[in-house]
Amino acid sequence: MSEVNQSPEYLERLRHSTAHIMAYAVQQLFPNGEHTVKLAIGPPIENEFYYDMEVPRPITPDDFPEIEKHMKAMIKSNVPFEQETWTFDAARTWFAERNQTFKLELIDGISDREVSASDEGVAEEGVSIYHNGDFTDLCKGPHIDKTGECRHFKLLRVSGAYWRGDSNREQLQRIYGTAWGTREDLRTYLRQREEAAKRDHRKLGRELELFQMHPESPGSVFWLPKGAFIYNHLSEKVRKLNLTEGYNEVRTPLIYDSSLWQTSGHWEHFKEDMFLIDNEDGEPTSALKPMNCPAHMLIYKSKRHSYRDLPYRLHDQGVLHRNEATGTLSGLSRVRQLCQDDAHNFVTEDQIAEEYERILGLFQRIYGTFDLPFRCDFSTRNPDKYMGDIEVWNRAEDILESVLKNNQIDYTVDPGEAAFYGPKLDFQIRDSLNRDVQCATVQLDFQLPERFELIYIAPDGSEKRPVVIHRAICGSFERFIAMLIEHYAGAFPTWLSPVQCVVMTISQKFVDYATEVQNLLLNNECRVVLDNSDDKIGAKIRQARLQRIPYMLIIGERERDNRTVSVRSREEGDIGAMTLDSFIDKIRDEIDIDF
């Protein structure tokens, strides 16, 4: 494959073009499909594409062979993608004649936070239209040259979607597919999807009895004993690291009056994503907290601070609630109730560089423990939308970029993508399936100290504004654990495994010695269970392997008489006989892990 058609830009155009071909093919399933299949939007996304549409009957995977047949026919014809600019009147007339109401809405320029008319090729000068063969669509492009380039594709799945992401609007069907430059790339991606399906944290969560989700509390996790151990153990490791690094742990309330959210700006910008609480008159006057930062501003403001007190670091693992739309909820990855390893660091401008260095050190210690490589997206100032002194912004951006370079962090710059209150670093973890997963964010904030009128006393006795650094390394523990489940396929490292060792007997004659072994391991802080069932040893081993338990200790006559254990490892297989002291030393080396 040439270098050009492996580029991300080419693959994005390829997938966008394949989405158009798929939309045309779906229309062929129905009589007068150009009028009865109402098309919405069909963008490329990471590795895939989709098209949202309203169809006369539900599309199922059983329809995929027929859709793919029509797609292949258009691809074989190798017709070009051709662009035209139409007047608004001409575009309205053409799409109205075909009853394409969603396209008409885009042409009319109605836009919101999810779909904007400009994204679909509507601009002041006219309407961008693309043709490929007998198919015409509203689209700003760009596309590839001809349909023949789209031959390496596969339809994947169907889901529901609301028009413009609004649950009060039309419910559409979203058909997903993937397209690649070569047959081998397509096959590789499909194999990765198969492996990802096997590792899906929702599937493994059930099989390994880690957590449950119930419709009685949508978007909230029911942690079972094994999952609760992983959650609490990870939380404690993070807590211990923060305390050794000079953070002050706090616990803050769940419910706050609307006045706090108005001061912080969340009532204006984040209200629809909050769980609101009405007063006796039915008016929303308070809310469950979706984040910890406003509470931490109150704590900082409650006492007078000198420059000698800074950096002042607050760490909080309190429960948060976010009113995510029902259709977006997905296992542990997207929830309504969550906890973060959240922290807010109050610093002087001169301390920004050193504090970022310390924070990056925490990233490397935590991610390094899991052998997780990571990279960073560095979002810089939007010249048309920012708060504060431009010289402070420029200096802060220079500092952050130098910190990334000094620490040899792989990063890309996203110009103009920062929030208006400060530059931001988003950290992407690369998991064992070579997928990027965003967990961590470090955000520099000039706005909240201004809104809350925070001050510290400078060396000359004057009052100065601190700068706040928002910092979460794991992000939400729910999402981080979802990533770990899939990264390890449920086979957690020994220190994080809810059960580290299972002692299993060959027969009931050896239960007394097996119990002694179990108690000795428990006394050495090893998480161990005893399987003294009547099952044959082969069945016990299979069950332990299904549960991804790191070590199996087999107890029979020889082990009892020699006061040894026969060790099987999840990774190494049969290790052989070991003395109890030797095995305890071995497993302790794997258990004694701190970030």
Q: What is the pLDDT of residues 431-444, one digit of tens each?
A: 888 888 888 889 98
- The whole-number pLDDT of residue 118 equals 63
| Residues 318 and 400 reside in one and the same domain | yes
Domain boundary among 487, 519, 554: 487
CA distance 563 to 570: 23
What does the pLDDT read at residue 335?
96
Q: Are residues 265 and 386 in the same domain?
A: no
Interatomic CA distance for residues 7 and 37, integer angstroms: 33
- Please report, as a single letter, which amino acid is at residue 592: D
Q: Which two tokens stand for residue 109?
A: 């320029």
Looking at 270, 288, 306, which one is the last position of a domain?
288
Residue numbers annotated as active site: 293, 322, 340, 342, 344, 424, 470
* Residues 349, 453 share a domain: yes
pLDDT tens, residue by residue, 521-555: 999 999 999 999 999 999 999 999 999 999 999 99
Written as one letter, the residue type at 39 is L
Structural domain harbouring 475: 204-250+289-487
Give the domain CATH number at 516. 3.40.50.800
The answer to whether the beta carbons of residues 39 and 137 sit under 8 Å apart is yes
| Bridging pattern class, strands 528-531 and 501-505 | parallel
- Looking at the structure, tell me whether residues 268 and 318 fall in a common domain: no
Gyration radius (Cα) of the chain, Å = 29
Query: How far are the Cα atoms of 115, 118, 158, 289 from residue 103, in angstroms, in the given order?
Result: 12, 12, 21, 38
545 and 420: one domain?
no
Asked whether residue 499 falls in the same domain as residue 423, the answer is: no
Domain match, 265 and 168 both: no
Same domain for 346 and 422: yes
**pLDDT for the residue numbered 358:** 94
List, for the chain, all residue ranges whose pLDDT scores fall below the cut of 50: 1-4, 111-114
- 295 and 266 in a common domain: no
- CB 316, CB 465: distance < 8 Å: no
Q: Where are the beta strands (DSSP E) in 229-317?
A: 248-249, 255-257, 276-278, 284-288, 312-316
Output the six-digit token pair for 300.
């900082």
Q: Are residues 443 and 308 in the same domain?
A: yes
Write down how long the chain is: 595
Number of neighbours of residue 266 by Cβ within 10 angstroms: 21
Q: pTM of this prediction?
A: 0.85
Our CA angle for 155, 156, 162, nearest 5°, is 100
- Number of C-beta neighbours around residue 153 at 10 A: 22
State how many domains the chain has. Answer: 4
Tell me the three state secondary structure of residue 167.
coil
Q: Which of 487, 510, 543 is the last residue of a domain?
A: 487
Please count the other Cβ atoms lying within 10 Å of the Cβ belonging to residue 245: 16
Q: What is the pLDDT of residue 119?
A: 66
Same domain, 270 and 321: no
Residues 377, 442 within the same domain: yes
Both tokens of 200, joined, read 């899906």
Sequence-distant (≥ 6) Cβ neighbours of residue 563 within 8 angstroms = 513, 579, 580
